[in-house]
Amino acid sequence: MNVAFNRFSLTLAILLPVASLAILTTSCATTINESAPTTLAENTTDQNAETGGAEKTISTIDPFLGRDELLTQMLQSVEALSDAMQKSDRNIAGKHLDQILQISDAVRPKILELSDQLVADFDRVVALAKSSVERNRPADADKALRFLPLIIDSLKNF
């Protein structure tokens, strides 16, 4: 009886971790939409000329604006990026990403003065915005849109 119990325990000890690993690896799968275009725009001025300049042009960011104004502009740009990615309009999404990066460069030092953790969270939002365009992942733009207001709310406590 002891031999049978030991064999069962050994079998269970081997199969349980293997089954757990199999469940964990299959539950975290990423779905990739291979039918979506994945090319990156190299020159946005040529594309703007081809479409007659109908898209909104991205202006430079005034670095002397306050943190709240810059974050409000960034939130609008992230929302526009999310909309463009949902519509699979990568040209417009790329322009909004450029705007987000410019705002990020201007506002990041102002956030760094307050909190290292909020800067790390802010950097994550910017990285999600980048990956949404670079890797054609609309869900990343949606995540950035969901996380940025949380950072803005957290900054109100400082």
Tens digits of residue pLDDT in 22-40: 555 554 444 444 444 443 3
- Please say if the pLDDT value at position 111 is more than 60: yes
Q: Is residue 92 part of a domain?
A: yes
| pLDDT at res. 158 | 79
**Most confident region among 48-52, 91-95, 154-158 by mean pLDDT:** 91-95
CATH of the domain at 107: 1.20.120.340
Residue 118 near residue 151 (C-beta atoms within 8 A)? yes
In a domain, 137, yes or no: yes
Question: Based on the structure, what is the number of domains in the chain?
Answer: 1
Q: Is residue 12 part of a domain?
A: no
pLDDT at 87 > cutoff 70: yes
CA–CA distance from 31 to each of 84, 88, 139 (Å)? 20, 17, 11
What are the tokens at 53?
Answer: 């300049």
**What's the start-to-end Cα distance of the chain, in Å?**
67
Element spanning 100, H or E: helix 90-112
Give a yes or no: residue 19 inside a domain: no
User: How many residues are listed for the chain in this entry?
Assistant: 158
* pLDDT tens readout for residues 130-152: 999 999 999 999 999 999 999 99
pLDDT of residue 3: 53
How many CB atoms lie under 10 A from the CB of residue 61? 19
Stretch (H or E) spanning 96: helix 90-112
The whole-model pTM stands at 0.62
Task: Give the model's pLDDT for residue 5.
Answer: 54
Residue 155 near residue 112, CB atoms below 8 Å: no
> Which range marks the domain in which residue 81 is found?
67-158
